[in-house]
Amino acid sequence: MTTPTTLVERDQAHWLHPLHHPSAHQTPLIFESGHGIWLRTVDGKEYIDGLAGLWNVLVGHGNTELADAAQQQMSTLAYASSYVGASNLPALELADRLAGWAYPSLNTTFFTSGGAESNESAFKTVRYYWRRLGKPDKVKVISRQHGYHGITLAAMSATGMSAYWPMFEPRVPNFLHIPAPYPFRFPAGQLRDGETVGLAAARLLEEAILREGPETVGAFIAEPVQGAGGVIVPPDDYFPRIREICDQYDVLFIADEVITGFGRTGEWFALNRWGVQPDIMSFAKGVTSGYLPLGGIQISDAIREVIMSAPSGERWMHAYTYSGHPTCCAVANKNLDLLLRLDVAANAKTQGRRLLAGLQGLQAEFEIIGDARGLGLMAAIEFADPQTKQPAQIGEKVRQACMQRGLYTRLIGSDILAFAPPLIMTSEEIDLMLQIVGEAVAAVARDTSR
Ligand SMILES: Cc1ncc(COP(=O)(O)O)c(C=O)c1O
């Protein structure tokens, strides 16, 4: 092996990246700095960060208030254990601030370092809860196709995107998937007379619970808007019916708000749009705007009571070294100040409408866009024949064309281009993004019609 010299060679020689395959890492962008919605590479190129990092950099890049908060906490007390019997000021302040904010019945937080750890904590808490209530067989977790819940073993097993599974089989038993409320691709054969997609997709949950036996089903987990699986926005009648079904069969409802939490959809927490409260909520990403790793679960008062009233031999024996990390929590506290001061949820609502209207305009203009969808500042266009829904297989070309014009974003599968920029986007910045997407689609459409 020759000694690697360039940055790319050094990276390729020694770094195994997430979702690694060398074919996809021949010419990586090496990011060096960021400011607001912009990212800059070592060779001086600038890109709009169309996915806000990985859906998480809510306040944009280069925020010195967050950097100062980290610096201050690190020089005061960078780390301390938070195992039972110990606590620290930033974490207890954060738990206090989060209490009841997302949903009135969620007043208790356990901290993790990210989304998969949060969902692992949720799954274990579900088992714990039912075991304490004398129902130890309620261990099955139902999730949806196209759902993404992280890729530790149990979270990967809940994830409903089969591309993540094959080389890591067998999956953890007792995780099942049902179809998603995906209006563009919901199979017509699944609809009963007069039934809406939302109610049909919810009925599939009820049928799955009955098929498995309610005495074996512990929880249902869902992202309010499916993100990594394709930005799938459920119809308005879906989640209210899901809540009823969970209540009817004693199934806990876990909301995975790792992407949707903290303003992304135009609500501070997404299920409020439908007036629905979960029993457990997972969060991560936006809680620190991605400046430091932090996540967590919030549990309902009922679950809390079961934990608090346990005899010591049945304690909730779950823990992470970095749970309640003082520096991460200090950054989160400052980030919450910023999110509230900038009122990013309201901005996501306003700018999200502008983004969606623009994408729908492009759909009307270009035949190859089969669907344009979004809620708040998470949106996508899907390249497919509008009638047959056959994928157009041009997503990568459009993504490249966007990159050439200064927009960096992510392709989902072969044909879904996702947009989830920082929540500080202005109207002018949305328009610039739309202009780039329009030019990129036009260029690819011209090429493919030749
Ligand atoms: C909805 C959802 N849940 C969980 C995760 C996993 O989070 P992490 O990558 O921090 O483990 C993600 C990551 O994208 C996500 O989008």
What is the residue whose two structure tokens read 């157009």? 392
Angle at 267 between CA 263 and CA 270, to 5 degrees: 95
Which atom in ligand 1 lies closest to the alpha carbon of residue 147?
1
Going from the Cα of 49 to the center of ligand 1, the distance in angstroms, rounded, reads 18
- Per-residue pLDDT, 334: 99
pLDDT tens string, the chain, 450 residues long: the values are 567 889 999 999 999 999 999 999 999 999 999 999 999 999 999 999 999 999 999 999 999 999 999 999 999 999 999 999 999 999 999 999 999 999 999 999 999 999 999 999 999 999 999 999 999 999 999 999 999 999 999 999 999 999 999 999 999 999 999 999 999 999 989 999 899 999 999 999 999 999 999 999 999 999 999 999 999 999 999 999 999 999 999 999 999 999 999 999 999 999 999 999 999 999 999 999 999 999 999 999 999 999 999 999 999 999 999 999 999 999 999 999 999 999 999 999 999 999 999 999 999 999 999 999 999 999 999 999 989 999 999 999 999 999 999 999 999 999 999 999 999 999 999 999 999 999 999 999 998 877
- Per-residue pLDDT, 1: 55
Q: Is 231 in the pocket of ligand 1 (CB under 6 A)?
A: no
Are 251 and 219 a contacting pair, CB within 8 Å? yes
Tell me the three-class secondary structure of 238-292, residue by residue. HHHHHHHHHHHCCCEEEEECCCCCCCCCCCCCHHHHHCCCCCEEEECHHHHCCCC
Please give the CATH topology (third level) of the domain spanning 7-59+343-449.
Aspartate Aminotransferase, domain 1 (3.90.1150)
Going from the Cα of 332 to the center of ligand 1, the distance in angstroms, rounded, reads 17
Going from the Cα of 363 to the center of ligand 1, the distance in angstroms, rounded, reads 29
Which atom in ligand 1 lies closest to the alpha carbon of residue 114?
10
Q: Is 296 in the pocket of ligand 1 (CB under 6 A)?
A: no
Q: Give the model confidence (pLDDT) of 348-401 as tens digits.
A: 999 999 999 999 999 999 999 999 999 999 999 999 998 999 999 999 999 999
DSSP 84: T
- Per-residue pLDDT, 75: 98
Which atom in ligand 1 lies closest to the alpha carbon of residue 119?
4
Pocket test of ligand 1: the residue of 118, 161, 221, 285 to mutate, having most ligand atoms within 8 Å of its CB, is: 285
206 sits in which H/E element: helix 197-212
Q: What's the CATH code, domain 66-341? A: 3.40.640.10
Q: Is 290 in the pocket of ligand 1 (CB under 6 A)?
A: no
Q: Give the model confidence (pLDDT) of 335-345 as tens digits.
A: 999 999 999 99
Are 254 and 215 a contacting pair, CB within 8 Å? no
Going from the Cα of 143 to the center of ligand 1, the distance in angstroms, rounded, reads 14
Going from the Cα of 113 to the center of ligand 1, the distance in angstroms, rounded, reads 11
Pocket test of ligand 1: the residue of 57, 258, 294 to mutate, having most ligand atoms within 8 Å of its CB, is: 258
How far apart CA 235 and CA 199 sit, in angstroms, is: 9
Q: What is the Cα 116 distance to its own chain's centre?
A: 10
Are 36 and 342 a contacting pair, CB within 8 Å? no
Strands 407-408 vs 416-419: parallel, antiparallel or unpaired: unpaired
Q: Is 331 in the pocket of ligand 1 (CB under 6 A)?
A: no
Strand partners, 217: 140
- Domain spans, the chain: 7-59+343-449, 66-341
Going from the Cα of 63 to the center of ligand 1, the distance in angstroms, rounded, reads 23
Q: Is 116 in the pocket of ligand 1 (CB under 6 A)?
A: yes
Pocket test of ligand 1: the residue of 141, 149, 159, 288 to mutate, having most ligand atoms within 8 Å of its CB, is: 149
Which atom in ligand 1 lies closest to the alpha carbon of residue 228?
16
Going from the Cα of 303 to the center of ligand 1, the distance in angstroms, rounded, reads 23
Peptide bond into 170 cis (omega under 30): yes
Are 50 and 417 a contacting pair, CB within 8 Å? no
Angle at 27 between CA 25 and CA 32, to 5 degrees: 100
Rg of the chain over all Cα atoms, to the nearest angstrom: 22
Q: Is 52 in the pocket of ligand 1 (CB under 6 A)?
A: no
How far apart CA 253 and CA 236 sit, in angstroms, is: 17
What percent of the chain stands above pLDDT 70?
A: 100
Q: Is 139 in the pocket of ligand 1 (CB under 6 A)?
A: no
Which atom in ligand 1 lies closest to the alpha carbon of residue 293?
10
Q: Shortest CA distance to 24 belongs to which of 39, 7, 35, 11?
A: 11
Q: Is 264 in the pocket of ligand 1 (CB under 6 A)?
A: no
Q: Is 164 in the pocket of ligand 1 (CB under 6 A)?
A: no
In 113-161, the DSSP E strands lie at: 140-144
